[in-house]
Structure 1
Amino acid sequence: MSYNNFWIGLYTTDNPVQLNTTWQWTDNTAVNYIPWYNVIPSLDKKLCAISGYNYNGFSNADCTASYLAVCKQPPLETIPTSNPVSTTTFKPINPCDISMQTFSNYFIPQVKMNWTTAEEYCELCGGYLTSFHSTDELNTIVNYLNAGNYWTGLYSDNNERTWKWKDGTTYDFSYWYPGNPNQAGASCANLKIIDYNPYGMANTPNCSTSLYGICKYRQTEIMT
């Protein structure tokens, strides 16, 4: 049982969770505030929400997991009121309105996500997880980034034997970090950058790992 996270009464019946999923409170009060930890919930089959000490915001989790619970006790006396019950409709934040690092033909949402969510995020905001097709293009990206790991659109659907770009472009250029690709590794690849060391693609983090994603605008939606 985790003592860092706590069940709250927020849940959904939409399975799996989507960007436009409707959330409800178990006490039937209006849903007018959802401070998701990563701006959006995890887009998967985690239908119940938790809050915790180790991050600032809510996250969705498997409803069968074990956590402590935060309970809200109703008042001992109910004071009659003529005020109508709140009917506020909650409008989720538009993910594309959050802070983005933009450069050249690329944008990086300033929230960390797993690979699947990062791709959906890129598509929602007019792009795809990036591909690159030359050393010059790769260097353009690397020159704007700090050391770390960043999701790209490179993936494999045959146990890491061959690789494809999520945007459908031809896999005609590769620049792997030493020791990669690892056939026992993940089926999605990230750009790995380490200070004073070579950079390149790697498939060591699991696809469910939360990383920043590098998005490339579709050619018709390039920001100027």
Structure 2
Amino acid sequence: MLNNYKSQVSGFLVEAGKRINTTSDFWIGARSYGLPGSWNWTDGTSFDFTDWKIPATVGSFCGAFDIANGFWNPMDCSSKKSYVCKTDETATTATTIKPSKPCPNEWFYFEETNSCYFWADSSDWPTAENTCKSFGAHLMSVHSFAEANFTKTIYNGKFWIGLYSNSNPVDWNSTWQYTDGSPVDYTKWGNHQSHDNSRCVQLRYDMYFENLNCTTINYGICKKPSTKVLPTVTATITSTTQASPYCINDWFYNSNTSSCYTLTPSVNWTQAEEYCLFNHAHLTSFHDRYELNFLYYTFRQATSYSDAWNGLFSTDQGMTWQFTDGSDFNYRPWSQGYPIRNSTYCGVYDLGSNYLQNSRCDYSNYGICKRSAVL
């Protein structure tokens, strides 16, 4: 049955390639954002069928169909290729009623924020912000992963956003703010430079934040409210309503610990802990098999079952261990033969075996951050 389905899909794509006069490969809507197993379709449908010739790896972000062999290949998104679009049959049905546009010409509308977005020419950060102001807008604020992901429909690269700091020097404790005055309620830092002049922030192609010198030349994306009037929704909350636990986008909630967890980029142990600290968290502690199993089932696919930093560290050559969050190390599921007492004084969680190990702190691994949920 699966082979029959594969042949139907491949046959259709080969025919589609002929119609666009290409004899090599062309883009399909498969897209990844840097982590193994994170592929999805750009139209939002379920990614429940794959036909890769080679495994999709980190750094290969877009899918292409190879007419020669009928398989998919993970490719660099900056490559230039032909492409095939897909639309519903009803999408071409003519209508005599045209709804008013919520955004000016050449601006992009995002329904989740009810806002309009525009791609500004490359410039330094102050010039980009002034350009946006001339359109009655600001450099964009980012309030969710979905909003960051939406920008890929405008520009698939790094660009200025409206986040900046007046701190001197800039460090992990600096205060950040948006030029449009909206709250800083979503941050996903990749690199965070501790330099006096790195006060302006770009959104990278992998949707991580990075602060840079404000004189760096970048494209910018402007954002302003749309003209669409949304219906008013009134909600009544009684005194018996229980508050729900809340984790921001890309954080995962564990009801047993009332905590939120997320992955850091692949960095060394110290950088992973700094990343967590900047997000008001620490590298994860764990206190029973239930919590460890939660980490295993939540992050094993995203890390390809590899090691992930946790908050354990030792200052006495592996004799004693402690968590960066100060909690007790009262559950010790060491792998057989661990801990190793030499120069490996940082804790890693082996997502292949679901047990604890220790490793050199200067290796690069994903890290798992943990913080209390907002109740």
**TM-score with structure 2 setting the length:** 0.33
Give the one of 260, 277, 283 matched to 1:106. Answer: 260
More helix by share: 2
Which of these residues, 276, 279, 282, is aligned with residue 122 of structure 1? 276
2:358 maps to 203
Within 5 Å, give how 1:69-218 maps onto structure 2. Answer: 100-104=250-254, 105-146=259-300, 147-194=305-352, 198-204=353-359, 206-218=360-372
CA distance in 1 between counterparts of 2:215 and 2:296 reads 48
**Post-superposition CA distance 1:56-87 (Å, at most 9, x none):** xxxxxxxxxxxxxxxxxxxxxxxxxxxxxx96
Q: 1:143 deviation in Å?
A: 1.5
Structure 2: gaps of 5 or more residues: 1-169, 175-188, 195-213, 219-248
User: Residues 155-198 of structure 1: CA distance to partner in whole angstroms, max 9, x if unpaired?
Assistant: 1110000111110011111001122110024111100122xxx3
Residue 149 (structure 1) shift: 0.5
Greater relative contact order (CA < 8 Å, ≥ 6 in sequence): 1
Q: Is the 8 A contact 2:347 2:358 kept in 1?
A: yes
Alignment partner for residue 190 of structure 2, among 12, 15, 39?
Answer: 39
Structure 1 residue ranges without an equivalent (≥5): 1-16, 22-37, 44-85, 91-98
Q: Distance in 2 between matches of 1:110 and 1:150?
A: 9
Q: TM-score, normalised by structure 1?
A: 0.53
| Partners of 1:100 and 1:87 in 2: CA distance | 31
Once the 2 structures are TM-superposed, how far is the Cα of residue 100 of structure 1 from its aligned partner?
Answer: 3.3
Which of 1 and 2 has greater Rg? 2
Distance 1:140 1:184, change over 3 A: same
TM-superposed CA distance for 1:41, in Å, is: 5.3
Contact 1:101 1:110 in 2 (8 A): no
Give the Cα–Cα distance (whole angstroms) in 2 for the partners of residues 42 and 161 of structure 1. Answer: 34
Give the Cα separation in 2 of the matches to 1:207 and 1:129: 13
Q: Deviations along 1:25-61, whole A, 9 cap, x unmatched? A: xxxxxxxxxxxxx831587xxxxxxxxxxxxxxxxxx
SS at match of 1:107: strand
Q: How far apart, CA to CA, are the structure 1 residues paired with 2:321 and 2:310? A: 12
